[in-house]
Structures are given as structure tokens and as C-alpha cells.
Amino acid sequence: MIKKRMVLRFTKKTWNQPIVYRLVKEYNLAFNILKASIFPKEASLMVLEISGAETDFDRGMAYLKGCGVVYEPLEANIKKDENRCVHCGACAAVCPTEAISIQRPEMYVVFDPEKCSGCELCVKACPPRAIIATLSSQGA
């Protein structure tokens, strides 16, 4: 069994197709929607936690590619710039999944991409702009 958090980017032509439905029905994959920005006739995206058998997952990803849906792991879209971070903890205070936490007693901000849901609340809360998210800034 495999479970991955993936970003799916839909084009202007694929935004209204039952693509995720087919992942369930034809590829036996389960999903949890973590974030969705779907706009009629525009490039759109979904952040999904997808789980299933590894062979089904691989077949499902091949199906997405064939449909023209660009996909990538969520962690490729959320980064913490260690050189900019001042370890103020503002990002940790707003993180609903505890993907960002304070390591004590050092008071060091730690980012765990495995827990991240891609909500981008940390991006808005970070004074030095050390959290970089390319979810909504990249078009499909």
C-alpha cells in the first residue's frame, strides 16, 4: 500500500473532466482532497492525498499523464529557505497540520513536508518570507 500527497495541475481543457473520479473507479485509488483551486475554463489545481496499491498508483499516474494533467509530489511545491528563516515561529503558530513546529529548547523552526497539506497559511504568516510555496503561482 502506498500513500502520497500529490499536486495535480489541470489545463484549460481538462478542468471539467471526471479525471479524479476515474482514479477511483478504474485504478482503485482512494483520495482525500487537501486543497482545490478549480476555475471554469482556466488552469486549476488540486492537492490530493492518494492511496492504493503501488501498481494501481503507478497506472493512475500514467493515466494522469496521458490526460495532460501535470502531477508532482507536494513537497516539491513547499520549501523553507533556511537562509531567510529567523526562527520567529509565526509559521508554526498557524500550521493546522503541525508540519511546522518549534524544536525545543533550541527554539528552532522545523518543517516536515510529510505532514504538510499545502494550505499555504505559513506563507502569509512568515515575516521574512522564508516559506516558499509554488502551488498557486505556477500555472498548468
Which residues form the domain of 42?
Answer: 2-75
Which residues are within 8 A (CB) of 83 and not within 5 positions of it... i.e. 6 or more apart?
A: none
Q: Is residue 140 part of a domain?
A: no
- Is 139 inside a domain boundary? no
89 vs 102: CA distance, rounded Å? 7
Same domain, 97 and 117: yes
Residues 6 or more apart from 58 whose CB is under 8 A from it?
A: none
Helix (H) or strand (E) holding 7: strand 2-10
Inter-residue contact 45 to 118 (CB < 8 Å): no
Judge whether 121 lies within some domain.
Answer: yes
Q: How many CA atoms lie within 13 A of 37 on its CB side?
A: 17
| DSSP for residue 128 | T
Q: In this structure, are 83 and 68 located in the same domain?
A: no
pLDDT category at 136 given cuts 50, 70, 90 is low
Q: What integer best gives the mean pLDDT of the chain?
A: 89
Give residue-wise pLDDT tens across range 28-62: 999 999 888 888 888 888 999 999 999 999 999 99
95 and 30, same structural domain? Answer: no
Query: Does the pLDDT of residue 140 top 50, yes or no?
Result: no
Q: How many domains does the chain have?
A: 2
